[in-house]
């Protein structure tokens, strides 16, 4: 179990750790005190993952280019 702050983890890392936490707890070979800590970490990881999954907003923009093909900005694209 790493001590990385959950808030800074990528979704993938958090999910992977959550899986390992669940696995460890399911194996049932963790001492009680550790298992409580593990459980708390698992809960935090789950919250974090859920938050990441909630950030699911579609936003489509198109880069605008000048005559030389250099980007000048973006314009919204309404995806149908």
**Closest distance between other proteins and the C-beta of residue 3, in Å?**
19
Confirm if 75 and 64 have CB atoms less than 8 A apart.
yes
Task: Check binding of 1 to other proteins (CB under 8 A).
Answer: no
Q: Is 75 helix (H, G, I), strand (E, B) or coil?
A: strand
Which of residues 1, 4, 7, 77 is near other proteins by CB under 8 A? Answer: 77
Task: Check binding of 71 to other proteins (CB under 8 A).
Answer: yes
Q: Locate tokens 């280019």: which residue?
A: 65
Q: Locate tokens 């399911």: which residue?
A: 26
CA 15 – CA 6 distance, rounded (Å): 11
Q: Give the x-and-dash track for 36-65 against other proteins (CB under 8 A).
A: ---x--xx--x--xx-xx--xxxxxxxx-x
Q: Is 67 helix (H, G, I), strand (E, B) or coil?
A: coil
**Closest distance between other proteins and the C-beta of residue 6, in Å?**
14
**Closest distance between other proteins and the C-beta of residue 51, in Å?**
11
């Amino acid at each position: 179990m790493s001590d990385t702050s959950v808030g800074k983890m990528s979704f993938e890392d958090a999910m992977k750790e959550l899986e390992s936490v669940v696995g460890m707890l399911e194996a049932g070979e963790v001492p009680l005190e550790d298992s409580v800590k593990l459980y708390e970490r698992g809960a935090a990881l789950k919250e974090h993952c859920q938050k990441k999954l909630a950030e699911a907003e579609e936003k489509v923009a198109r880069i605008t280019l000048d005559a030389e093909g250099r980007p000048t900005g973006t314009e919204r694209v309404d995806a149908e």
